[in-house]
Amino acid sequence: MINALQMYATLCMLFSRAPYLILASTFRLHNVPTVITELAGFPLISVRETLHTAGGTTMQRTRLLLADDHAILMDALVGVVRQEFDIVGTAHDGRVMLDLARQFKPDVIVMDISMPSLNGIDAARILRKEGNTSKLLFLSMHADLPLVEEAFRAGASGYVLKLCGADEFITAIQCVARGNIYITPKLAGDLISTLIATGGKQPSREAILTVRQREVLQLLAEGKTMKEVAAQLGISTRTTESHKYEIMRQLGVQTTAELIRYAVRAKLV
């Protein structure tokens, strides 16, 4: 059986917060919820038990910002959540999402990872660096565990797959809005097992890049010229070229084509 204190320490390291609540049902590891309750001292509470305050008092509606570059999916998301939450804005790329987040300061930001101009993970890093306190919930098609881990390291409070149903999506929003962590059950057990096995100490190669370098990398991979990248980021062309050189050096690639292939594999585009 996995040592419960080891698991708890690993989770705290990943999420950078403690104590917190996690859906007990998300774990597929043998008897883990009971062991954690007994040894770590922090109860695992079902989200559905936290949906109402004591005495049945009505809670203020959660304010949402939605970000996804697929228009048809955005329309569907709005249809699913508008009766439960207040939607303060929608965005179809990462930079518009940043502007709306700064303007409206929503309670929860639901965003995709793969978005034009700025991907969700780097957008999350920027928001956290700026001190934005909105809870971040990723809604993604990607089930890759390294990407899920990177999302939480960037400041996410939740991660839901796009194959989830409407009920799970609403539950995830409610969960993170209350300051808790939510991970799609399909991923939770595998992610924790991987973190324990690796000690959580194996960052991806792109994680060594700065946020600015990752911005440059994504824009170049999207086909923008040096001049266009410089204009969008508000920096000089020479600085952009310097960033590109340093990115290629750190990633060990020799050509622009290799750089683009790397960005695609890393799901930056």
pLDDT at position 49 over 70: no
pLDDT at position 202 over 90: no
Band the pLDDT of 35: cuts 50, 70, 90.
very low
> Which tens digit of pLDDT belongs to each residue from 125-173?
999 999 999 999 999 998 888 888 889 888 999 999 999 999 999 999 9
Q: What is the mean pLDDT of residues 166-185?
A: 93
Cβ 190 vs Cβ 90: under 8 Å: no
Q: Residue 221 and residue 262: Cα distance in Å, rounded?
A: 9
pLDDT of residue 12: 52
pLDDT at position 76 over 80: yes
Structure-block tokens of residue 228: 């266009």
Backbone dihedral region of 33: left (phi > 0), alpha (psi from -120 to 50 degrees) or beta? alpha
How many other β-carbons are positioned within 10 Å of the β-carbon of residue 5?
12
Domains and CATH numbers, the chain: 60-193 (3.40.50.2300), 205-265 (1.10.10.10)
pLDDT at position 51 over 60: no
pLDDT of residue 175: 94
Comparing 8-12, 89-93, 104-108, 169-173, the range with the smallest average pLDDT is 8-12
Q: What is the mean pLDDT of residues 62-80?
A: 95
Q: Which residues contact 265 (CB under 8 A, 6 or more apart)?
A: none
pLDDT at position 253 over 90: no
pLDDT at position 4 over 50: no
Band the pLDDT of 40: cuts 50, 70, 90.
very low
Residue 70 vs residue 28, higher pLDDT:
70
Question: Does the pTM exceed 0.75?
Answer: no
127, 149, 158 from 9: Cα distances, Å: 26, 15, 19
Cβ 25 vs Cβ 48: under 8 Å: no
Q: What is the mean pLDDT of residues 227-233?
A: 89
Q: Residue 59 and residue 117: Cα distance in Å, rounded?
A: 36
Among all chains, which residue has been given the structure tokens 């990248």?
A: 229
pLDDT at position 22 over 80: no
What 3 state SS string does the chain have? CCCHHHHHHHHHHHHCCCCCCCCHHHCCCCCHHHHHHHHCCCCCCCHHHHCCCHHHCCCCCCEEEEECCCHHHHHHHHHHHCCCCEEEEEECCHHHHHHHHHHHCCCEEEECCCCCCCCHHHHHHHHHHCCCCCEEEEEECCCCHHHHHHHHHCCCCEEEECCCCHHHHHHHHHHHHCCCCEECHHHHHHHHHHHHHHCCCCCCHHHHCCHHHHHHHHHHHCCCCHHHHHHHHCCCHHHHHHHHHHHHHHHCCCCHHHHHHHHHHCCCC
Q: Residue 137 and residue 65: Cα distance in Å, rounded?
A: 10
CA dihedral 148, 177, 24, 120 (to 10 degrees): -10
CA dihedral 47, 128, 252, 113 (to 10 degrees): 50
How many other β-carbons are positioned within 10 Å of the β-carbon of residue 129?
10
Query: 86 - beta bridge partners?
Result: 63
pLDDT of residue 197: 61
pLDDT at position 245 over 50: yes
pLDDT at position 63 over 80: yes
